Amino acid sequence: MFDQPGVGALHVIVHGVVQGVGFRYFVLRRAQPLGLTGWVRNLPDGTVEIRAEGPVSKLQELLAALPYGPYGAHVDRVEHLAAVPTGEFTDFLIR
């Protein structure tokens, strides 16, 4: 997924029953302890979008948790792309 170890970035779209079930808080509670920066938000089409930056190993941990989500969520598909880290984020937030 990533070309080299170190710091990376992810852009993720999560499909399924992921709005109204605490999915954004689930992502926040996983991303912050991992030291990741970026954001998570609901999109009008019912999906959840995530932009995360940090150590590649920590990004992989976050990505591995997404198919499970919180109780009540049903994840059908997780689309993800490696991205170029910008360093513009100082925390991980819900938008």
Q: With H, G, I as helix, E, B as strand and everything else as coil, classify residue 56.
A: helix
41 touches 11 (CB < 8 A): no
From the candidates 24, 29, 51, 77, give the one annotated as an active-site residue: 24
User: Residue 93 corresponds to which tokens in the numbers above?
Assistant: 């937030």
From the candidates 41, 42, 51, 77, give the one annotated as an active-site residue: 42
Verify whether residue 42 is a known catalytic residue.
yes
51 touches 87 (CB < 8 A): no
* Neighbour-count burial for 12-39, b at 16+ CB within 10 Å, e otherwise: bbbebebbebbbbebbbebbeebebbbb
Verify whether residue 24 is a known catalytic residue.
yes
Give the catalytic positions in this structure.
Answer: 24, 42
